[in-house]
Amino acid sequence: MATATITQAETQIRGLVDNYIKAVRARDLDGIVRDYAPDTVFFDAIPPLKLSGAAAYRKNWQDCFAMMDGPVGFDVTQLEVHASEDVAYAHMINHLSGTVKPEGKMKDNRMDFWFRATIGFRKIGSAWKVTHEHASVPFNPENNTAATDLKP
């Protein structure tokens, strides 16, 4: 496949990630799901094991923002993109931070953890869409706690 096509695909996917970062920081739910396929399948950092649909994905972010007070911090590091003509995936290490309202269900009323994200894309028509996402923190098997204190 032509190198130019791959370079263009990578550039487009990095553009999608950039848009996503800005949308999360702005609590912009429509912006977050702008490039998600309607039937996207996602493994979120929180239960359940699996969910389907851009609407469910949007709702998870809505619930997250609802329990946060003030600014939402969101940073993406170590982004790597693997793209072909019409299938691609990317992985990255992300940081989410902010203050959680007293009634929010979050330990210590503080959101501040690094997590891993893998995103699967397909080119549908002329546009790249997110068809899969997997976000997680590792867990410590000896005591079943989430390792939310790790840093990249």
Radius of gyration of the chain (CA): 16
Cα–Cα distance measured from residue 76 to residue 65, given in angstroms and rounded to the nearest whole number: 18
Any contact of residue 49 with its own copies (CB under 8 A)?
yes
Any contact of residue 125 with its own copies (CB under 8 A)?
no
Any contact of residue 2 with its own copies (CB under 8 A)?
no
CB-based burial of residue 135 (10 Å sphere; 0-12 exposed, 13-18 middle, 19+ buried)? middle
Instruction: Please list, in sequence order, all residues whose beta carbon lies within 8 angstroms of the beta carbon of residue 36, skipping any fewer than 6 positions away.
Output: 54, 57, 129, 130
* Nearest CB to its own copies, comparing residues 27 and 116: 116
- Please pick, from the candidates 47, 70, 102, 125, the single residue that binds its own copies as defined by CB under 8 A: 47
Cα–Cα distance measured from residue 64 to residue 74, given in angstroms and rounded to the nearest whole number: 13
Joined tokens for residue 135: 């976000």
State how far the alpha carbon of 38 is from the alpha carbons of 68, 77, 131, in Å.
26, 27, 8
* Nearest CB to its own copies, comparing residues 30 and 70: 70
Any contact of residue 110 with its own copies (CB under 8 A)?
no
- Please pick, from the candidates 43, 60, 73, 97, the single residue that binds its own copies as defined by CB under 8 A: 43
The stretch among 15-23, 44-52, 54-62, 68-76 that binds its own copies (CB under 8 A) is: 44-52
Any contact of residue 118 with its own copies (CB under 8 A)?
yes
Q: Nearest distance from residue 149's CB to its own copies, in Å?
A: 9
Any contact of residue 66 with its own copies (CB under 8 A)?
no
Burial per residue of 6-36, b for 16 or more beta-carbon CB atoms within 10 angstroms, e otherwise: beebbebbeebbeebbebbeebbbeebbebb
Residues that bind its own copies (CB under 8 A): 1, 41, 43-50, 78, 80, 82-89, 91, 93, 105-107, 114-116, 118, 120, 122, 131-132, 134, 136-148, 150-152
